[in-house]
Amino acid sequence: MGKVLVGLATKPIEKIEVTLMGRAAEVEARPVSVAALIGVLSGQFSTPVNRVNAENIAKRQGIALVESKTEETEDYLSLIKVTGHCADHSIMLAGTLLGGCHPRLVCIDQFDIEVVPVGTLLVTQHDDKPGVISAISSVLGNANINISRMQVGTADEQQLAMAVISVSEPLTEDLLQQLCHIPAVHKAIQINL
């Protein structure tokens, strides 16, 4: 979840909130929070980030960590929410384990969407109207990029949708720009997990 969070952030993350909900609240929060920090920080430093040094590196980078637990949950028996706060916006992710061993992201900000968090993910935010997914798929198909999974979620009060697409290989910067030039696409972000 930390890698997805930093991939979606447009500015440096200043604070991370980790909330354990439902059955997840029965375990210690610190290992989960440290795992989120490792995801956010990994790949940014010459020193490998691990369970031992993650909190110290986060403090040096000015990233505050807030943990909480609640027995209440929303739609799932066990849920973990990770919220990253940047200077001008926040990003909220919610995740769970299906069957106790299959990780899934189930919400990104206001979009309810079920994502298998592995490999290379293409995340688009676009107008919720016909033809957009077809246009995105055409760009990928023309570049010989295979789609292995795709999930689309909508925001109730807005005319926006989000697609999270698992692709066979990383996209070039040129290909990302082609996707951003589709009139209905507001942004296209690639996250390598």
- Residue 17, strand partner residues: 66, 83
Gap between the terminal Cα atoms of the chain: 10
pLDDT of residue 43: 83
Count Cα atoms within 13 angstroms, Cβ side, for 51: 4
- For the entire predicted model, the pTM comes to 0.92
Q: Which candidate, 116, 128, 122, 107, places its Cα nearest to that of 167?
A: 122
- Give the DSSP H or E segment for 105: strand 102-108
Q: Which candidate, 154, 117, 112, 158, places its Cα nearest to that of 133?
A: 154
Residue spans of the chain under pLDDT 70 = none
Q: How many CB atoms lie within 10 A of CB 118?
A: 11
Whole-angstrom distance, CA of residue 106 vs CA of residue 40 = 19
Q: Tell me the CA distances in angstroms from 58 to 51, 89, 163, one per residue in order.
A: 12, 19, 30
pLDDT tens, 100-128?
A: 889 999 999 999 999 999 999 999 999 99
pLDDT of residue 106: 96
- Check residue 23 and report its DSSP letter: G
Whole-angstrom distance, CA of residue 176 vs CA of residue 154 = 22
pLDDT tens, 156-175?
A: 777 899 999 999 999 999 99
> Would you say the C-alpha torsion 46, 50, 53, 55 has a positive or negative sign?
positive
pLDDT of residue 190: 97
pLDDT of residue 21: 97
Residue 123 burial (10 A CB sphere; 0-12, 13-18, 19+): buried
